[in-house]
Copies of this chain bind each other. A is one copy, B any other.
């Protein structure tokens, strides 16, 4: 294994196969790792946003330069507005001015928004150039950077313009999670919990161990500040060094939380996703199981106008909904549903009620389902680690959503 790489997960897609490399400190080694997958490449363009550029841009640039690449960094705007054709069009223009060609590699340095945008640009600039994902959020590390889904938003609907386009490599450095705002960490933990519930053991036990202490924000005031306090919102200024620490890690005495444990869990999530994607690259069948909690979750996000709840928070509530439906069908035991709630609460995520009107949630769920030409089918568990896509009677969905909605009309 390459130096510094603790875990390597292969995504088997024939000619489009690639490795996910996981290891603390890998961001400093991106130059050599890129050279080893793209030996003939000379030009490299990093696509990132201003906050991430300030934190990690220098490290990645230096690594690429010392490996012999000619490097340029292009910054997309902060936030979701980076995921637009307008932002993509500006970057196409910069790439043309730079003389970027089909041999130029694009490196997506950031979270899901940057990964989706840079992946879409890589898929469409000159009909496709190689790209590498450098995910800097937990959500991107365990989910969005893997599998080749790229997209920008249309004014009328999110993620509706995109392509399936696989990266040449995904390089995951868990140490970057140190600078992740706690709420962003929690949204990633929601996906981690999803993997634990749909894959079952042994990941489930590891995630229970990880979440043995409340990650909801305790001790935040005593933690060191982020490198630059202007980077992030007030509630997110705390570093989470206590949670994500050195690799072969000493268990942090204070929390019992081990960085190495999290790195291993990230690798397990990647392995699961890689295996599902290998069997269903274009999301026509089995890949649907990765949407556990996402159907109701997405309807909550939309109903709340993409404001009150972020992706992971909405998915957490969606998983509770799916668990209750499975219980009503006799597929999950009450203890399984309680486990859902305990994991979600331990991660500091909302577990049972959201402040959105049930009718609104149901309306958006119906709209999504109609677009998919599906009847009322949801990903449900027939037991922990046994996801299936199953039809659900509309009344059961309605009743369940009413139970999740915190009394708002």
Choose one: B154, B163, B282; the contact of A92 (CB below 8 Å). Answer: B154
State whether the Cβ of A403 lies closer than 8 Å to any Cβ in chain B.
no
Q: How far is the CA of A194 from the CA of B163 in the complex (A)?
A: 33
How far apart are the CA atoms of A337 and B164 in the complex, in Å? 46
The count of chain A contact residues (Cβ–Cβ below 8 Å) is 35
Task: State in angstroms the CA–CA spacing of A214 and B162 once bound together.
Answer: 47
How does the 8 Å CB contact mask read for A151-192 relative to B, with 1 for contact and 0 for none? 100111100111110000000000000000000000000000
Give the residue of B92, B163, B371 whose beta carbon is less than 8 angstroms from that of A160.
B92
B128 touches A93 (CB 8 A): no
Is A149 positioned at the interface, with any CB of B under 8 Å from its CB?
A: yes
The answer to whether the Cβ of A373 comes within 8 Å of any Cβ in the partner chain is: yes
Which one, B88, B99, B103, B127, contacts A162 given CB within 8 A? Answer: B127
8 Å CB contact of A101 from B128, B156, B163, B372: B372
Alpha-carbon gap, A150 to B128, bound state (A): 11
B89, B151, B154, B283: the one contacting A154 at CB < 8 Å is: B89
Residues of B near A163 (CB, < 8 A) are 123-124, 127-128, 163
Chain B hits for A150, CB < 8 A: 127
Please name all residues of chain B whose beta carbon is closer than 8 Å to the beta carbon of A160 when the two chains form the complex.
92, 96, 125-126
- The 8 Å CB contact of A99, one of B123, B151, B371, is B371
Contacts of A371 in B (CB 8 A): 99, 101
A70 on the interface (CB 8 Å rule)?
A: no
A97 touches B156 (CB 8 A): yes
- What CA separation (Å) do A260 and B282 show in the bound complex? 41
Nearest Cβ on chain B to A317's Cβ, whole angstroms: 26
B96 lies within 8 A of A156 (CB): yes
User: Within A97-151, which residues are at the interface with B (CB < 8 Å)?
Assistant: 97, 99, 101-103, 123-128, 149-151
Given contact pairs A89-B85, A103-B373, A373-B101, A96 touches B164 in the complex (Cβ within 8 A) = no
In angstroms, Cα B283 to Cα A179, docked, is: 42
Interface core residue of A88, A123, A150, A372 (most chain B CB under 10 Å):
A123
Least Cβ distance of A63 to chain B in Å? 23
Cβ-defined contact, A151 with B164, below 8 A: no
A161 proximity list for chain B (CB < 8 A): 92, 124-125
Closest chain B residue to A43 by CB distance?
Answer: B373
Judged by a CB distance under 8 angstroms, whether A363 is at the interface is no
B127 touches A93 (CB 8 A): no
A93 to B85, CA, bound (A): 13
Give chain B residues whose Cβ lies under 8 Å from the Cβ of A373. 101, 103
Q: Decide if A154 touches B282 in the complex (CB within 8 Å).
A: no
- Flag whether A370 is at the interface (Cβ < 8 A): yes
29 residue pairs A–B, Cβ–Cβ below 8 Å:
A85-B88, A85-B89, A92-B154, A92-B161, A93-B154, A93-B155, A93-B156, A96-B156, A96-B160, A99-B370, A99-B371, A101-B371, A101-B372, A101-B373, A103-B373, A124-B124, A124-B162, A125-B160, A126-B162, A127-B149, A127-B151, A127-B162, A127-B164, A127-B282, A127-B283, A128-B163, A128-B164, A128-B282, A163-B163
B-binding residues in A (CB < 8 A)? 85, 88-89, 92-93, 96-97, 99, 101-103, 123-128, 149-151, 154-157, 160-164, 282-283, 370-373
